[in-house]
Structure 1
């Protein structure tokens, strides 16, 4: 079984009681809301990653104001020819502030829509669990920056 590690950085941007989300499009066409962010390129600083990803997925310039924490997930994914991958995702979650730009949708990327959502409406959204993890880190600001433990689901 192949071992795969993906390091990614995400932003929790809350303004006027709303959170900025991007709609992720899975390989099978399923669409769910997620935090803006994504995979870190080799040699890239995580802060540069999250600022780049927020701009790519939402059109906004941003700055990160706090490190909220880390979240680690481990899953088993099918790969070609009947093989499987032992996947681990390390997700770095920041609090972000919008500094400029304008809301727009990503073109030819992993997301297709960006929007502000009232915090009270988030539980009714079709979303990945990272949204809940990020908002819990934002609300609780745990001393060790560790997201609450939960069951395994897809990102």
Structure 2
């Protein structure tokens, strides 16, 4: 990576909520208008605990209150984006640290986020997830939920 790259580390927290062989997902809308399914969750506010961030983000994106039951793992996602007219003349070196919890819905009603980064929240049958346009986090979170690796990491 060239030294002129804009570097950014983004810690984020997510919850895997599974009921009756269905998983709670949120549909993320990119800056270009593309839509991909993701886990409910998102970036930490400065100084925010990841546990609290996951609870807050699930409520914002789905309308549900969630109780986090256990830490499933941490995923490290690193990607470089080329320069573009929206983000500037320098490449962007992005490093996402994604903290993934198992959660249980305890209240609230399913609703879509308004004026946020997602436009739809839904319970999706686990058997249908493979057919969805989704980001890699969905597959990683499901693998962590199913495998529960001792070190909280899915091998690349």
**For this structure pair, what is the TM-score category when the shorter chain's length is used for normalisation?**
over 0.9
The CA distance in 2 between the partners of 1:147 and 1:19, in whole Å, is 19
Q: What are the Cα deviations for residues 71-123 of structure 1, in whole angstroms up to 9, with x where unaligned?
A: 00111124533201211000000000001000000000000000000110111
The yes-or-no answer on 1:54 pairing with 2:58 is yes
Alignment: residue pair count: 149
Measured in 2, the distance between the counterparts of 1:70 and 1:44 equals: 17
Which structure has the greater CA radius of gyration? 2
What pairs with 1:29-40 in structure 2 (closer than 5 Å)? 29-40=33-44
Paired residue for 1:77? 81
**Equivalent position of 1:116 in the other structure:** 123
User: For residue 146 of structure 1, what is the aligned residue in structure 2?
Assistant: 153
Gaps of 5+ in 2: none
1:103 aligns with 2:107: no
Which of 44, 50, 70 is the aligned partner of 2:48?
44
Find out whether 1:129 has 2:136 as its counterpart. Answer: yes
How far has the Cα of 1:134 moved from its partner? 0.1
* CA shift in 2, pair 1:120/1:5, >3 Å: same
Runs of 4+ in 1 over 3 A off after TM superposition: 78-81
- Structure 1 residue 148, shift from structure 2 partner: 2.6
* Whole-angstrom CA distance in 2 between matches of 1:46 and 1:75: 22
Within the alignment, does 1:94 sit opposite 2:101 as a pair?
A: yes
Deviation at 1:19, TM superposition (A): 0.1
RMSD: 0.9
- 2:13 aligns to what? 9
**Structure 1: gaps of 5 or more residues:** 150-155
